[in-house]
Amino acid sequence: MFIKNTWYVAGFEKEFGESFISRRILDLPLVLYRTSDGRYVAMDDCCPHRLLPLSKGKRVGDEMQCGYHGMCFSADGECTHVPGQTNIPSAARVATYPIEARHGFVWIWMGEADLADSALIPDVHWHNSPEWKSSQGYHHIEANYTLLNDNLLDLSHETYVHSRTIGNDEEESIAAYAAKTTVEHDCLVRAHREMPNIEAPPFFALVIGRPCRINRWQSAIHLVPSINLTVVGVHPVEEERADARIGHVLHLLTPESPGSTHYFWAFVRNYRLDDEELTEGIRKASAATFDEDKQILECQQKQMERLNSKVPQVAIKLDEAPIRARRLLEQRLEHEARNPRHVMAPPPLVPQHSFAILEEV
Ligand SMILES: [Fe+2]
């Protein structure tokens, strides 16, 4: 059901403070924290003694103490203390998982631990680069992560779902501008669309600073199983493409359970970097946009459960990129089922400069 040999986002770096985080990932309850010397820790949220979640206990220094009988476990998952005795039973240990920080996120590897190569962490460096500015947030979505992948690979839905934020209305319907879909390395799908001389939807009027006609483009980039990047470019029609406002919108999805997803997102821009009002405006507008998606996705999930059905039931032209991504995911799941040590190295999401991909297509 889930690809295991891959890096998922466990949280934003800024979430990791003096306490701990209790979070279910790939349907496994985990305790996450950062030690005083800066190491990140992910361990099963379960005491091996009487199975109480360790998150019901407390963090003591760099260890977790069970809230039932006081047994303590180090960042390596080893039991260090059993009240009332000096010997430590050899089975008294908790499973831990490779976890590390990169690009402002903390990434976790739930597969074979010795295969966890940090070089395989997807490159999303824009998120904490001084040349870009990030507006970020988190949504908890009561829907399977593949429904979010579908959503992010078919941006024609903006006309209907996001008419108050990023969508053009039906007179300039996004679906009317064909998307060109390509597949790379059996694990990456791109769907690119150009929308010349259209009205700036409210969100883009905000980033440009006024209502106007714009040239707009968008590249939906998907890395199996659940990393998504939308490269969005806009400029007023009277300006040059080279001066476009570029946004790299990260949608980093981590399955919580078969029916729910952690949605870590960030809108990262290359313009007006010091404009804090704009940073907050984009954060609010992005959150409102993803609230709109959440409504749709959670309805879909309920319908699938009610009907015991998969999607899509009917495929239309707009489904090309989502369907290609679903096929790649199925292939990858099959590979991993046959070979639990199967690993794929991700290609770069954006090959060189942002504009390189835009000129290619
Ligand atoms: Fe959407």
pLDDT tens column, 235-280: 999 999 988 999 999 999 999 999 999 999 999 999 999 999 999 9
* Average pLDDT score over the chain: 94
Nearest CA to 361 among 216, 180, 221, 155?
Answer: 180
> Does the pLDDT at position 218 exceed 80?
yes
User: What are 255's strand-pairing partners?
Assistant: 261
Distance 352 CA to ligand 1 centre (A): 26
Q: Mean pLDDT throughout 77-90?
A: 97
pLDDT at position 161 is: 93
- Answer yes or no: are the C-beta atoms of 109 and 99 closer than 8 Å: yes
> Does the pLDDT at position 354 exceed 80?
no
Helices (H), the chain: 145-153, 158-161, 202-208, 276-307, 320-338, 354-360
Distance 284 CA to ligand 1 centre (A): 15
Q: Which two tokens stand for residue 190?
A: 């791109």
If you compute the radius of gyration of the chain from its CA atoms, what whole number of angstroms results? Answer: 22
Percent of the chain with pLDDT over 90: 88
pLDDT at position 312 is: 82
Q: Mean pLDDT throughout 103-107?
A: 98
**Which pTM was predicted?**
0.95
52-61, 90-99, 154-163, 282-291 — which is least confidently predicted? 154-163
Distance 158 CA to ligand 1 centre (A): 6
At residue 356 the predicted structure's pLDDT band, cuts being 50, 70 and 90, is very low
Q: Mean pLDDT throughout 91-120?
A: 97
Round to whole Å and give the CA distance between 17 and 250.
23
> Does the pLDDT at position 207 exceed 90?
no
> Does the pLDDT at position 33 exceed 80?
yes
Q: In what order do the strands lie in the sheet with 21-25?
A: 21-25, 28-34, 40-44
Distance 221 CA to ligand 1 centre (A): 14
pLDDT at position 353 is: 47
Distance 110 CA to ligand 1 centre (A): 28
Distance 246 CA to ligand 1 centre (A): 18
Nearest CA to 234 among 166, 319, 312, 333?
Answer: 166
- Answer yes or no: are the C-beta atoms of 229 and 249 closer than 8 Å: yes
Distance 328 CA to ligand 1 centre (A): 22
> Does the pLDDT at position 88 exceed 90?
yes
pLDDT at position 352 is: 53
Distance 241 CA to ligand 1 centre (A): 25
Distance 21 CA to ligand 1 centre (A): 28
Distance 260 CA to ligand 1 centre (A): 17
**294-343, pLDDT tens digit by residue?**
999 999 999 999 999 988 888 999 999 999 999 999 999 999 999 999 99
Nearest CA to 145 among 253, 222, 250?
Answer: 253
The CA–CA distances, whole Å, from 139 to 103, 289, 303 equal 19, 11, 20
Distance 286 CA to ligand 1 centre (A): 10
Structural domains in the chain, sorted by start: 7-115 (2.102.10.10), 131-360 (3.90.380.10)
> Does the pLDDT at position 220 exceed 70?
yes
**Beta-carbon neighbour count of residue 72 at 10 Å?**
20
Q: Is 194 exposed, middle or buried (0-12, 13-18, 19+ CB in 10 A)?
A: middle
Distance 139 CA to ligand 1 centre (A): 13
Its sign, for the CA torsion 292, 295, 297, 303, is negative
Q: Mean pLDDT throughout 47-56?
A: 98
Percent of the chain with pLDDT over 70: 97
Distance 107 CA to ligand 1 centre (A): 25
Residue 329 Cα to chain centre, angstroms:
16
Distance 161 CA to ligand 1 centre (A): 7
Q: Is 291 exposed, middle or buried (0-12, 13-18, 19+ CB in 10 A)?
A: exposed
- Answer yes or no: are the C-beta atoms of 269 and 259 closer than 8 Å: no
Distance 156 CA to ligand 1 centre (A): 9
Distance 125 CA to ligand 1 centre (A): 23
Distance 203 CA to ligand 1 centre (A): 13
Q: Mean pLDDT throughout 159-164?
A: 89
Distance 47 CA to ligand 1 centre (A): 40
Distance 167 CA to ligand 1 centre (A): 9
Distance 76 CA to ligand 1 centre (A): 40
Distance 253 CA to ligand 1 centre (A): 14
Distance 10 CA to ligand 1 centre (A): 23
Its sign, for the CA torsion 111, 113, 117, 121, is positive
Nearest CA to 232 among 144, 126, 332?
Answer: 126
- Report which of residues 27 and 353 the model is more confident about: 27
Round to whole Å and give the CA distance between 328 and 312.
16
Distance 266 CA to ligand 1 centre (A): 14
- Answer yes or no: are the C-beta atoms of 326 and 146 closer than 8 Å: yes
pLDDT at position 311 is: 84
- Report which of residues 75 and 347 the model is more confident about: 75
Distance 292 CA to ligand 1 centre (A): 7
**Beta-carbon neighbour count of residue 249 at 10 Å?**
23
pLDDT at position 168 is: 81
pLDDT at position 359 is: 47
**14-32, pLDDT tens digit by residue?**
999 999 999 999 999 999 9
Distance 217 CA to ligand 1 centre (A): 15
